[in-house]
Amino acid sequence: MPSAGEAWRDCFRAFYIHKFRAVLGKNRLIFPGEKVLLAWSGGPSSSSMVWQVLEGLSRDSAKRLRFVPGVVYVDGTCPVVSTRRLRRVAPRTWPYPILGSPVVMIPFCLHLEGAACGQSREDRAKTLSDVKRILQTLGFPWHVVTLEEVFALPPSVLRCSAPEPVGTVGTYKVAVDSFLQQQHTLEAEGVGDSPSSAQGEAQPSQPCTQDPQNLAEPPPAAQTEALSRLFDSVKTLTAKEELLQTLRTHLILHVARTHGYSKVMTGDSCTRLAIKLMTSLALGRGAFLAWDTGFSDERHGDVVVVRPMREHTLKEVAFYNRLFAVPSVFTPAIDTKAPEKASIHRLMEGFLLRLQAQFPSTVSTVYRTSEKLVKAPRDGCASGPRCLLCMCSLDVDTADSATAFGAQTQDFSQMQPPTPLAEAGAPTVPCRSAEVGRAPNCCQGTRPCRREDSRARVIKQLCYGCRVNMKDVPSLDPLPPYILAEAQLRSQRLSPEIQEYLLENSDDRAHASGSGAWGPPEDGGEEGQTVCDCINKNIFN
Amino acid sequence: MPAPQCASCHAARAALRRPRSGQALCGACFCTAFEAEVLHTVLAGRLLPPGAVVAVGASGGKDSTVLAHVLRELAPRLGVSLRLVAVDEGISGYRDAALAAVRRQAARWDLPLTVVAYADLFGGWTMDAVARSTAGSGRSRACCTFCGVLRRRALEEGARLVGATHIVTGHNADDMAETVLMNFLRGDAGRLARGGGLGSRGEGGALPRCRPLQLASQKEVVLYAHFRRLDYFSEECVYAPEAFRGHARHLLKLLEAARPSAALDLVHSAERLALAPAARPPPPGACSRCGALASRALCQACALLDGLQRGRPRLAIGKGGGARDEEGPPPPPPSDPGSAPGPADGECGAACKERCE
């Protein structure tokens, strides 16, 4: 960086803030007065994002940000970045305690994050107290949820609710104009404070709207143990990371829906998104790249995920945080200190950063290519069934097609029927085709199929990428109950002509929905298992 | 420890484990399964209709050897006839030995062989001459870009000479996986938009091309060649170490160690990519010079050759804008030695950012 006096610092700051505001302004998705949930992981990018929002809302900024923010922190999750990697992209930036700023250093924990990694209770409690300290200084409503709460999620979190009517550019302009007018009249009447800052000041008197007991005590040990059991049962680090990401997303979605947030902001930087794009490619998620890495992700319907930090490189973020003392909390990630070859995420990150050293335009090239992706399935029909876990439209063909999916589901080495000798002995390797979605015909008659059936039922409802991940999860039982419940509901959805005979079981409906904020129930989606069983007996095959 | 029984015929001892599924099979059953899978790909993808005259791009390497062998086995069932077409790029110390292998194969299989040479087709330009011409700019040579484009042209010419209706090449799943990784790393949205299928239908008078081995992994191709005792040429091209594809190949090796199905997962991703209409190449027309399929006024081969003739070999590499026309603009300014050979300097805005940092 040129050191022409200290003026460059102001230039850098102006440039950095401008990029943030420009990304928001260009896309015009966030309407004035809208409730936006900031997903804060404690890491540098999301901390920077929260800081930007804080500064943007303060009265002395030229064009104040107009939305109403809240912050969510998921205890037991953290950025997939270790101190080693931070050093590589931003030398001499981490760790530097800056006088007067609440930059927090957590004693380095050898293993993984929270309960997913075996972090001790004391460390978790300490991290949590540091997190709360920072959250209290922000002045927004804040929510801290533990990862263990996935065991209490309702199945409806996996359903795509009807989106609120999205305005066009014209509507946005109208909304902004009317908001500004409203402000103007309020100030003219002598109210003084604008609604958003009034809310902000009122916040410290009402702490977090989440269950207060959450903050005082750690989550029940049974849940922590169940979480550890789940993650221990997953065979590869790649699948663990993907599962963690999925659970975290569902949790944040639940918080957003419960408290009426219509947008969620995540702090993914340009570097992080380029890595995510290449990783998603390698995981078989080529169909969903635009949703995974674009500015906005509308797959959940009513809650839209936006990524305002997507034009900032990790290097810029690190510099900014260092120069302007942005507080952040370091928590070790699920793959901190894991060897590089351990997971696809780590591999891709290492590869891209190394290639970047040799060809300095690599990250921006990948990012620029990602901007050319569109949110459309190749065939053109987007209204098919959605994946149970990632909620994107399913991208699998029939098992017989001449595609990569077809190649993995058919099995030409079993062309000859097994001889009686083979049926007597157990097969040496389980038939892999069952994993990727075909009904387990090959096991017919040789062993009880109920377990395989229920597993196959769940697998059938997943997209290609999620199916490949599930191959590394040998048993679906440790999964949180909401996933299995929703899988069962979906597979039991009967054909329309029988709908009229179905009885709505009010007990099941009470179980299915948590709070009241779920929107209208889907057609036929609320029937319980017992009802379907008794209808099944009446159907003549 | 004795090997387990073959999971298919349950008669012989298993001789290998299939890399992707881990299934233990004997040699004969594996080869049968492999051939059945290729047959399925061809039939389900409707790649080679009955009565087609198929030109097999034979380089003497393992992929084209296996491809030719498998198609020869399947030819009666598919109702197609085969011709071998080999391309002589004029790389001394490499191509001559490979061609010898192709000639042996043609003799063994009793298939007609035609050899087309760059020197004849492209006015005396061999790959060695191209490499010499592109060597001096200080950046890496990018002669692989030339070779790829010119070879496809040569293959097309050779196929027409033998009266073929379809062209097949031996690209396997690993090749396609590397291609999609490479195209993303280099920002080649046009190629990303075009790729992903099993081949091209052949618009505008070009012959339809396909890749029957696209869903077979490289390891299985090698295993097949081993069990069928096929004679092929296994050395690497002398210019290969400088190719950008090497990075993608290295990455794929790492990915496969972490997840064995990585190559097929990448192929699946490539099949499902959706690019903006603006990024897709314009509908193809005909080259104004040679009449071949082209997205612009000149086809890529003619544009590259043009650059070579004029002593400006980098003219048509990257997105040089108006470089395709007869009267090209002055060449782009020489860039830093360390920067990427892929995206041209004007296109990727990060070039100037590097200098500031």
Using CA atoms, how far residue A132 sits from A74, A216, A248, A253, in Å, is 12, 11, 19, 21
Q: Is the pLDDT of residue A468 over 70?
A: yes
Kindly state whether residue B241 falls inside one of the protein's structural domains. yes
Q: Are residues B140 and B89 in the same domain?
A: yes
Give B305 or A5, the one with higher predicted confidence: B305
Name the nearest CA neighbour of B254 among B177, B339, B342, B142.
B177
Q: What is the identity of the amino acid at B330?
A: P
If you average pLDDT over residues A166-193, what whole number do you get?
A: 68
Q: Are residues B110 and B54 in the same domain?
A: yes
Q: Is the pLDDT of residue B23 over 60?
A: yes
Q: And the tokens for B118?
A: 């760059």
Q: What is the identity of the amino acid at A319?
A: F
CATH number of the domain at B120, please. Answer: 3.40.50.620
Question: What is the rounded CA–CA span in Å between residue A489 and residue A494?
Answer: 10
Taking the CB of residue B357, how many other CB atoms lie within 10 A of it? 10
- The reported pLDDT for the residue numbered A535 is 43
Q: Kindly state the helix (H) or strand (E) to which residue A75 belongs, with its residue range.
A: strand A68-75
Give B19 or B56, the one with higher predicted confidence: B56
Q: Are residues B262 and B311 in the same domain?
A: no
Pairing of the two strands B199-200 and B209-210: antiparallel
Q: Are residues B76 and B145 in the same domain?
A: yes
Q: Are residues B191 and B297 in the same domain?
A: no
* Total domains, chain B: 2
Q: What is the pLDDT confidence band of residue A179, given thresholds at 50, 70 and 90?
A: confident
Residues 253-292, chain A: which have Cβ within 8 Å of B? 277-278, 280-287, 289-290
Chain-centre distance for alpha carbon A252: 7
Of A364, A407, A464, the CB nearest to B37: A407
- The reported pLDDT for the residue numbered A170 is 65
Residue B6 C-alpha, separation from nearest chain A C-alpha, in angstroms = 10
Of A283, A404, A421, the CB nearest to B215: A404
Chain-centre distance for alpha carbon B163: 22
- Residues 6 or more apart whose CB falls under 8 angstroms from that of B11 comprise B5, B26
- The torsion defined by the Cα of A159, A162, A164 and A170, in degrees rounded to 10, comes to 120
Mean pLDDT (chain A) is 72
What are A153-175's pLDDT values in tens digits?
888 888 877 665 555 556 777 77
What are B174-204's pLDDT values in tens digits?
999 999 999 999 888 888 887 777 777 776 6
Contacts of B257 in chain A (CB under 8 A): 341
Contact B118/B126 with Cβ under 8 angstroms?
yes
Taking the CB of residue B355, how many other CB atoms lie within 10 A of it? 8
What are A317-367's pLDDT values in tens digits?
999 999 988 888 887 777 677 776 788 999 999 999 999 998 889 999 999
Percent of chain B surpassing pLDDT 90: 32
Name the nearest CA neighbour of A302 among A28, A25, A23, A35.
A35
Contact B25/B7 with Cβ under 8 angstroms?
yes
Kindly state whether residue B1 falls inside one of the protein's structural domains. no
Cα end-to-end span (Å), chain B: 60
CB within 8 Å: A405 and B268: yes
Mean pLDDT is lowest, of A200-214, A226-240, B43-57, B189-203, for A200-214
Collapsed DSSP state (helix, strand, coil) of residue A73: strand
Contact A350/A340 with Cβ under 8 angstroms?
yes
Chain-centre distance for alpha carbon B193: 17
What are B209-260's pLDDT values in tens digits?
999 999 999 999 999 999 999 988 888 787 777 788 889 999 999 999 888 8
Q: What is the identity of the amino acid at A520?
A: P
Residue A261 C-alpha, separation from nearest chain B C-alpha, in angstroms = 30
- HSE-up of residue A238 (Cα within 13 Å, Cβ side): 30
Q: Rounded to a whole number, what is the largest CA-CA distance in chain A? A: 91
Question: What is the rounded CA–CA span in Å between residue B179 and residue B266?
Answer: 10
**What is the span of the domain harbouring residue B312?**
284-316
Confirm or reject contact between A364 and chain B (CB < 8 A): yes
Q: Are residues B142 and B171 in the same domain?
A: yes
Name the nearest CA neighbour of B205 among B122, B80, B280, B294.
B294
Q: And the tokens for B223?
A: 């295993």
Q: Are residues B152 and B43 in the same domain?
A: yes
Of B37, B259, B351, the CB nearest to A344: B259
- The reported pLDDT for the residue numbered A1 is 54
Q: Is B175 known as a binding-site position? A: yes
Q: And the tokens for A230?
A: 């789940």
Question: What is the rounded CA–CA span in Å between residue A486 and residue A506?
Answer: 17
- The reported pLDDT for the residue numbered B201 is 74
Omega before A165 within 30 of 0, i.e. cis: no
Collapsed DSSP state (helix, strand, coil) of residue A322: helix
If you average pLDDT over residues A76-81, what whole number do you get?
A: 37
Q: And the tokens for A434?
A: 């069952």
- The reported pLDDT for the residue numbered B179 is 93
Mutation target vs A (from B268, B335, B345, B357; most A CBs, 10 A cutoff): B268
- The reported pLDDT for the residue numbered A117 is 54
- Per the document, the length of chain B is 357
Q: Is the pLDDT of residue A283 over 90?
A: yes
Q: Give the angle subtended at the CA of A22 by the CAs of A20 and A23, to the nearest 5°.
A: 70
Q: And the tokens for B27?
A: 């040699």
Complex confidence, ipTM: 0.81
Question: What is the rounded CA–CA span in Å between residue A295 and residue B277?
Answer: 19
Mean pLDDT is lowest, of A33-37, A40-44, A190-194, A493-497, for A190-194
Residues 418-477, chain A: which have Cβ within 8 Å of B? 418-419, 421-422, 427-429, 432, 464-465, 468
Q: At what angle do helices A221-233 and A237-258 cross, to 10 degrees?
A: 140
Question: What is the rounded CA–CA span in Å between residue B92 and residue A202?
Answer: 80
Contact B351/B342 with Cβ under 8 angstroms?
no
Q: Is B63 known as a binding-site position? A: yes
Confirm or reject contact between A407 and chain B (CB < 8 A): yes
Q: Are residues B122 and B167 in the same domain?
A: yes
If you average pLDDT over residues A209-222, what whole number do you get?
A: 56
Q: Are residues B184 and B268 in the same domain?
A: yes
Q: Are residues B254 and B133 in the same domain?
A: yes
Domain topology for A4-85+109-162+219-372? Rossmann fold (3.40.50)
If you average pLDDT over residues A423-450, what whole number do you get?
A: 44
Contact B7/A413 with Cβ under 8 angstroms?
yes
Question: What is the rounded CA–CA span in Å between residue A239 and residue A471?
Answer: 9
Name the nearest CA neighbour of A299 among A390, A395, A379.
A390
Q: Is the pLDDT of residue A446 over 70?
A: no
If you average pLDDT over residues B327-354, what whole number do you get?
A: 37
Q: Rounded to a whole number, what is the largest CA-CA distance in chain B? A: 71
Percent of chain A surpassing pLDDT 90: 24
Q: Are residues B193 and B296 in the same domain?
A: no
Percent of chain B surpassing pLDDT 70: 85
Q: And the tokens for B225?
A: 């060649």
Number of H helices, E strands in chain A: 23, 6
Phi and psi dihedrals of A473, rounded to 5? Answer: -110, 100
Question: What is the rounded CA–CA span in Å between residue B346 and residue B354?
Answer: 13
Residue A408 C-alpha, separation from nearest chain B C-alpha, in angstroms = 8
Domain locations in chain A as residue ranges: 4-85+109-162+219-372
Mean pLDDT (chain B) is 80
| β strands within B197-314, DSSP E | 199-200, 209-210, 285-286, 293-294
Q: What is the identity of the amino acid at B291?
A: G
Kindly state whether residue B181 falls inside one of the protein's structural domains. yes
Collapsed DSSP state (helix, strand, coil) of residue B348: coil
Kindly state whether residue B331 falls inside one of the protein's structural domains. no
Name the nearest CA neighbour of B155 among B59, B269, B291.
B59
pTM check: above 0.95: no
| β strands within chain B, DSSP E | 16-17, 24-25, 53-57, 81-88, 113-117, 166-168, 199-200, 209-210, 285-286, 293-294
- The reported pLDDT for the residue numbered B236 is 79
Confirm or reject contact between A4 and chain B (CB < 8 A): no
Q: What is the identity of the amino acid at B79?
A: G
Question: What is the rounded CA–CA span in Å between residue A307 and residue A265?
Answer: 6
Q: Are residues B265 and B122 in the same domain?
A: yes
Question: What is the rounded CA–CA span in Å between residue A515 and residue A153?
Answer: 11
Question: What is the rounded CA–CA span in Å between residue B196 and residue B23?
Answer: 28
Question: What is the rounded CA–CA span in Å between residue B355 and residue B352?
Answer: 5
Contacts of B8 in chain A (CB under 8 A): 413-416
Confirm or reject contact between A381 and chain B (CB < 8 A): no
Chain-centre distance for alpha carbon A419: 48
Phi and psi dihedrals of A454, rounded to 5? Answer: -70, -35
- The reported pLDDT for the residue numbered B254 is 93
Q: Which of B220, B244, B272 is the C-terminal boundary of a domain?
A: B272
Exposure class string for A517-532: b at 16+ Cβ within 10 A, else e? ebbeeeebbbbbeebb
The dihedral region occupied by B163, where left means phi > 0, alpha psi between -120 and 50, and beta the remainder, is: left
Give B317 or B209, the one with higher predicted confidence: B209
Contact A17/A49 with Cβ under 8 angstroms?
no
If you average pLDDT over residues A133-141, what whole number do you get?
A: 87
- Per the document, the length of chain A is 541
SS3 content of chain B, % helix, strand, coil (to 5): 45, 10, 45
